[in-house]
A and B are shown apart, each in its own frame.
Chain A
């Protein structure tokens, strides 16, 4: 039981490049979330998926897209990366909106 896994762990992009952050959970959770954490700040919700087939915007969705591929997987895509998207990205999952469990994070730098 790996919990929530994220790939990659680290990534460096140039401005304008695109990439997809992958997240998977093996806890059979309905809900999944993407957050970003900037230095000295808490976590801010980018997008969430209440259940398979649904996605909704969070607090800071601009510049991102998401796909709930199936119940296990929830990906975050940056179509044209900007330096302001340099951050640590965390994926989380929960069962019917209860306790959230987090992945280890992806540290992204955009030059």
Chain B
């Protein structure tokens, strides 16, 4: 079984500063970890995922995430935030389903606000 948590409802950061959106997990076995972003009035967009391999995963729009086994974390990061990065970010929980493969459960997400 796998569960994830996003401990922050909202993150505020100034434009140009580095940003981090946190996700922690607990799993028995190998984790499958994802990040999605939802821009205002839009559908969810896939950013990146970790299944196996390099702990640093690079994704879309300059985002990356580091899989840290010792801290059981998969935080989303970007070196320099843009106002346009303001959005809702989801680290969904994955469950295996015999019929449909990976089933994702999306919590409330973390709202990122980047201020000019």
Which A residues are within 8 Å of any B CB, using their own CB? Answer: 4, 31, 35, 40-45, 48-50, 54, 56, 90, 92, 94, 96-105
Contact = CB atoms under 8 A, between A and B. Distances in A.
Interface of B: 34, 36, 42-46, 49, 90, 97, 99-109
A43 B106 CA distance: 5
Given A40-B108, A94-B102, A100-B102, 10 more contacts: A42-B105, A42-B107, A50-B97, A56-B99, A94-B101, A96-B101, A97-B101, A98-B102, A102-B45, A105-B43
A40 B9 CA distance: 10
Contacts of B100: 31, 48-50, 56, 97
A90 B97 CA distance: 20
B44 A102 contact: yes
Q: Which of B36, B44, B108 has the most CB of A within 10 A?
A: B44
B89 to A, nearest CB: 11
B101 A31 contact: yes
A92 B100 CA distance: 13
Q: Which of A43, A90, A105 has the most CB of B within 10 A?
A: A43
26 contacts: A4-B43, A31-B101, A40-B108, A42-B90, A42-B106, A43-B106, A44-B106, A45-B103, A48-B100, A50-B100, A54-B99, A56-B100, A90-B43, A92-B44, A94-B102, A97-B102, A97-B103, A98-B101, A99-B34, A99-B46, A100-B46, A100-B104, A101-B46, A102-B44, A103-B43, A105-B43
Nearest to A41: B108
A31 B103 CA distance: 10
A40 B108 CA distance: 7
A89 B39 CA distance: 15
In the A-B complex, the 5 residue pairs with the smallest Cβ-Cβ separation, listed nearest first, are A97-B101, A50-B100, A42-B106, A102-B43, A50-B99
B102 to A, nearest CB: 4
A98 B42 CA distance: 21
